[in-house]
Structure 1
């Protein structure tokens, strides 16, 4: 049976913003299938080759793990044995992650897992001692340039690879289109880049900033597109995303509120009728340490 316990530690990564879906267990459960379908599988192929040259067991630290969806998606695609350390600052999410951890590697080897609560903004190489791989999902856009640079420095110092998935790019496609789409998209992007609590968030600039931060430290970096494609089969997720997208845009640019109610009503009606298709841009970043480049 997998090992499951909680203990204090230096990591966390679940932030929320006004008008956007907060990282509740229900929201993360709603998006898990779409996340799994979107992640760039070819990066896992490259990662698998890299891990084949490493000592076993593979130790994976999943930063901002939420309910543990990354482990459930990735562990079964990698050879074992594996030890997963699931980090988050939200005890509710850690409890959910502990209840459904990754259990079996691609070759049938058992996978062990434990949870660890804390914050990641002061992450250092020493905190990653013994780590083979650092993972994260839907995290980097919630960080600052300094925090992303610190993450890259910590991974480089520890000689750990990194697979960082589902970072928003700001690219949104709605079909059929509406004349107001561009205004809401621009306001949402500005909201993602906002200053909050003295921190300037990277938002849709995070993917490029992360790739650059790792490349400056000699890592071999690969970047792949990993968009959500939401149609009638994922109408529930599209509806919740639309509410959060419009709400965040209005929080950033209040004059949009005059049109928001009618716009959202029409968009939700089209979604419920199976007539709306939504594309939400993300990127995945794989960084292999300099010694393996």
Structure 2
């Protein structure tokens, strides 16, 4: 899996925080808080955004940030100075979640394969941990004003999402539902809810990069007319809006 641009991660952080479901956050915090000094492992941690969201609610927690991108982890170490930093290829290495109370992942599940999710579930369940996975793209997007190519671009982008991102063929928008089924089959209690981005005129910088990224992926997937679609969307940056679908998932041992 290739690394992400730190500028992109910073740009999206506000939309991520606004979209994250508050009830599931509260339940994840409550589960972790049952131990006096819980270990929380963040997989695909990037620059540590999830840790920065959760840490104020869990002042006694121990943090382990895991990612394959050393540059992102260098930034994470600066922003989360008390965290253990673990550079690791998540695609091929054993997951370092032994003794974890809570395993977290943000915007990761839609990039991985069914086999990787199955391994994640086995490892989480074997240790009796809970899993808190947020902001997994669910394949849905809508735009205002509408354009005739909106649906074609969405489908092409979803095809691109299901290509190999370094973990085998990705599940893309189906990933969070598959993870839910795997945890449920393992006897875990499951809660899942929508956590969409809702972007408007105040999110022009994020929308600009989002439109460019969607158009590029759709073109790579063979969609014609993406340049026309992109120009239309960029022309409406100041007035247009969009909804990009995500799902949050909390899976915990059944009581």
- Tell me the TM-score range normalised by the shorter chain: over 0.9
Match of 1:278 among 238, 242, 245: 242
Which residues of structure 2 form unaligned runs of 5+? Answer: none
Residues in 2 aligned to 1:47 and 1:201: alpha-carbon distance in whole angstroms: 26
SS in 2 for 1:130: coil
Show CA shifts across 1:220-257 (max 9, x none): 11001000011111110111011110110110115x1x
The alpha carbon displacement at 1:48 in A equals 3.0
Q: Does 1:264 align with 2:245?
A: no
Contact between 2:113 and 2:167, CA under 8 Å: does it hold in 1? Answer: no
Show CA shifts across 1:101-156 (max 9, x none): 17xxxxxxxxx31211002235657x322111100100001100000011011000
SS in 2 for 1:281: strand
Larger radius of gyration: 1
Contact between 2:112 and 2:165, CA under 8 Å: does it hold in 1? Answer: no
Show CA shifts across 1:237-281 (max 9, x none): 111011110110110115x1xx2222211210110xx21101100
Residues in 1 aligned to 2:248 and 2:74: alpha-carbon distance in whole angstroms: 27
* Counterpart for residue 69 of structure 1: 49
Contact between 1:129 and 1:158, CA under 8 Å: does it hold in 2? Answer: yes
Q: Does 1:131 align with 2:110?
A: no
Which residues of structure 1 form unaligned runs of 5+? Answer: 1-14, 17-21, 103-111
Contact between 2:116 and 2:167, CA under 8 Å: does it hold in 1? Answer: no
The alpha carbon displacement at 1:80 in A equals 3.0
**Which residues in structure 2 correspond to 1:105-144 (within 5 Å)?**
112-122=82-92, 124=94, 127-144=96-113
* Counterpart for residue 19 of structure 2: 38
Residues in 2 aligned to 1:180 and 1:228: alpha-carbon distance in whole angstroms: 21
* Counterpart for residue 177 of structure 1: 146
Contact between 2:111 and 2:167, CA under 8 Å: does it hold in 1? Answer: no
May I ask how many residue pairs the two structures share in their alignment? 255
Normalised by the length of structure 1, the TM-score is 0.83
Contact between 1:124 and 1:150, CA under 8 Å: does it hold in 2? Answer: no
Match of 2:210 among 225, 232, 241: 241
**Which residues in structure 2 correspond to 1:178-257 (within 5 Å)?**
178-195=147-164, 199-254=168-223, 256=224
Normalised by the length of structure 2, the TM-score is 0.95
Match of 2:71 among 70, 86, 92: 92
